[in-house]
Amino acid sequence: MKDSIHTYFKVGLISFMAFPSMGKGEEPKTADYIRRIARDDYFDAIELTWIKDAEQKKEVKKILDSAHMTVCYGAFPRLLTTGMNANHLDEGERQKAEKTLLEAIDEAAYFGAEGMAFLSGKWEAATKEQSYAQLLKTTRKLCDYAGPKNIRIEVELFDYDIAKASLIGPASLAARFASDMRETYRNFGLVIDLSHIPMCRESPEYVIRTLRPYLTHFHLGNTVCTDPGAPGYGDEHQRFGFPNGSNDTPQVLEYLRALKNEGFFNARDPYILSFEIKPWQDEDPELVIANAKRVLNRAWALLED
């Protein structure tokens, strides 16, 4: 493409994946990490998660107010680090998940985020429809609460049988869920991640075409998911070029091509396209970030006008 990618997307970074010690909301260097990202003008957007310390939270807000970045909020660690499940069949357990997600909306509003994303929980084949109904109940409550705050609620598709084993899930079920939600709520959308597409044994073209009316946000990363014996097997979001990885420059190009063909290049109101990448073991986060930029730049250069 001759035009800059920043013409058509707000390129972002999921801060708590690039710096995974932030995931529990207790990293004392959180404000420093956010500042390092905000100083990099490659990034138009940043995705945050919970920050438990009040002073850190104030400092991060100050940074974001100065940086002129689009902010989004990922509530995934609130669920994954605690074992909570937004579609738990036990009503008390479902309400625990709902409570922390309502708190996430408040925190997202504090940071000026335009969206709050979360993932569905684990499920069993015999009770799949009951889990589906529970997830609808939770998500409707979140949309009701977030609407007056002008915050969009988003569910991200994860794998359904490898690592997270989330209800949502396959593109077909995600489309059904989004359709049910959109009957009543305009502030609902879906997030897809290139990392999760091969884990669901699907292709970018199929997922994007199937979910086109409901997609509001995009993630980009790698995964190791074909060999259970390979290092890093599962949902670990390794750098591009990682051994046995499913995604690299050709797959990023395929993803961009599918987004272009389905009309998601929007110069007037760009979608967020964020790196969801994580250092493996003792890798340097900033090298992993630079790696991702190089891959995206190369894929963009190869994309047809």
Q: Which residue has the tokens 């490659």?
A: 42
Straight-line distance from the first to the last Cα atom of the chain, in angstroms, rounded to the nearest whole number: 5
Tell me, what's the pLDDT at 160?
A: 96
Rounded Cα distance between 280 and 140, Å, is 36
Residues with Cβ < 8 Å from 118, sequence gap 6 or more?
74, 75, 76, 78, 79, 86, 101, 104, 142, 153, 154, 155, 156
Check if the beta carbon of residue 37 is closer than 8 Å to that of residue 13. Answer: yes
- Tell me the pLDDT tens digit for each residue of 167-222: 999 999 999 999 999 999 999 999 999 999 999 999 999 999 999 999 999 999 99
Q: Which domain holds residue 172?
A: 5-302
3-state secondary structure of 237: coil
Give the position of tokens 């059904």.
Answer: 176
The pLDDT score that the predictor gives to residue 271 is 98
> What is the CATH number for 115?
3.20.20.150
Flag residues of the chain having pLDDT under 70: none
Q: What angle, rounded to 10 degrees, do the helices at 54-67 and 30-38 form?
A: 0
Cβ of 188: how many Cβ atoms within 10 Å? 24
CA nearest neighbour of 295 among 206, 231, 221: 221
Q: What are the counts of helices (DSSP H) followed by strands (DSSP E) for the chain? A: 11, 8
Give pLDDT, residue 18. Answer: 98
In this structure, how many other beta carbons lie within 10 angstroms of the beta carbon of residue 25?
A: 18
The pLDDT, as a whole number, for residue 172 is 97
Question: Distance (Å, rounded) from C-alpha 184 to C-alpha 289?
Answer: 39
* Domain tally, the chain: 1
Q: Which tens digit of pLDDT belongs to each residue from 121-150?
A: 999 999 999 999 999 999 999 999 999 999
The per-residue pLDDT for 32 is 98
The greatest distance separating any two alpha carbons of the chain, rounded to the nearest whole angstrom, comes to 54
What's the token pair of residue 149?
A: 């705050």
The type of residue at 150 is N
**What local confidence, expressed as pLDDT, does residue 79 receive?**
98
Q: At what angle do helices 91-110 and 128-146 cross, to 10 degrees?
A: 30
C-beta separation of 146 from 155 below 8 A: no
**Distance (Å, rounded) from C-alpha 113 to C-alpha 71?**
5
Identify the DSSP state of 239.
P
Q: Which residue do the tokens 């946000």 mark?
A: 217
Question: The whole model's pTM is what?
Answer: 0.96
Q: What are phi and psi of 3, to 5 degrees?
A: -70, 155
Distance from C-alpha of 302 to C-alpha of 296, rounded to nearest angstrom: 10
Six-digit token string for 49: 């998660």
4: part of which helix (H) or strand (E)?
A: none
d(CA 7, CA 110): 28
Stated length of the chain:
305
